[in-house]
Amino acid sequence: MGRAIRVLLQTTIPATADDWSIARFELLAKVLKAERDIDGQPLFDVKVRDRDPLGAPDSVLSALDTSDFDEMWLFAVDEGNGLTAPDCRAISNFRRSGRGLMVTRDHMDLGSSICTLEGVGAAHHFHTRNVEPTALKRDDPYSLKISWPNYHSGANGDYQSIQVIGPVHPVLSNPSSPTGAIRFLPAHPHEGAVSAPADKMLE
């Protein structure tokens, strides 16, 4: 096998006690670092980091397109100010070059700085940015302090059943499943909202 896949696990907030800093994702990093190929060599070379202090472009994100990372897993947990314009340009260029980009966020406006990421941003709906056109109400009946978009898919640690519609994308494929696709995803008490962008820039 060739070299290990270089993965950046990155948040959109500076390191902050009792918040969604990268330390919260320590178990994920540990799992990736433990993966080995058939020769016992590491499959992933993992770097974990929070963003630099707010108010200026991030030193890594603003130059991501010139880095040697193969993938970035971005945990967007800011309240709208986690990514600057230079950060978004470099991340968009990184993705356009064919490298891997996984972006996740949460309910309401958490992670809304991703809205200007090419293609990816258009897929995400928030409370005040890129507002979901058809569902301006709270679906989660339990977290009454959280407004829309806020969908309830189950308790933390639980799972939700899903049904894949249309051709099965390789990411959703599971040859051992009766349907040929994955049937369950992790659940969360209050999910955000996503939809396929009209311009199909995600392809």
Instruction: Spell out the domain ranges in the chain.
Output: 1-131, 134-196
Instruction: Assess contact for 42 and 107: CB atoms under 8 A.
Output: no
Instruction: Give the residue-averaged pLDDT of 173-190.
Output: 86
Instruction: Assess contact for 152 and 173: CB atoms under 8 A.
Output: no
Q: Which residue has the higher pLDDT, 166 or 102?
A: 102
Residue 125 structure tokens: 């709906």
Share of the chain above pLDDT 90, in %: 49
Please provide the average confidence, as pLDDT, over all residues in the chain.
87
Write out 62-109 in H/E/C secondary structure.
Answer: HHHHHCCCCEEEEECCCCCCCCCHHHHHHHHHHHHCCCEEEEECCCCC
Residue 1's SS3 state is coil
pLDDT of the residue at 160:
86
Q: How far is CA 93 from the centre of its chain?
A: 17
For the chain, the residue count is 203
CATH architecture of the region 1-131: 3-Layer(aba) Sandwich (3.40)
pLDDT of the residue at 93:
97
pLDDT of the residue at 199:
65
Q: Is the pLDDT of residue 46 over 50?
A: yes
Element (H, E) at 6: strand 5-11
Q: Is the pLDDT of residue 64 over 70?
A: yes
Q: In this structure, are strands 71-75 and 124-125 parallel, antiparallel, or unpaired?
A: unpaired
Label residues 136-172 b or e (16+ Cβ within 10 Å = b): eebebeeeeebebbbbbbeeeeeeeeeebeeeeeeeb
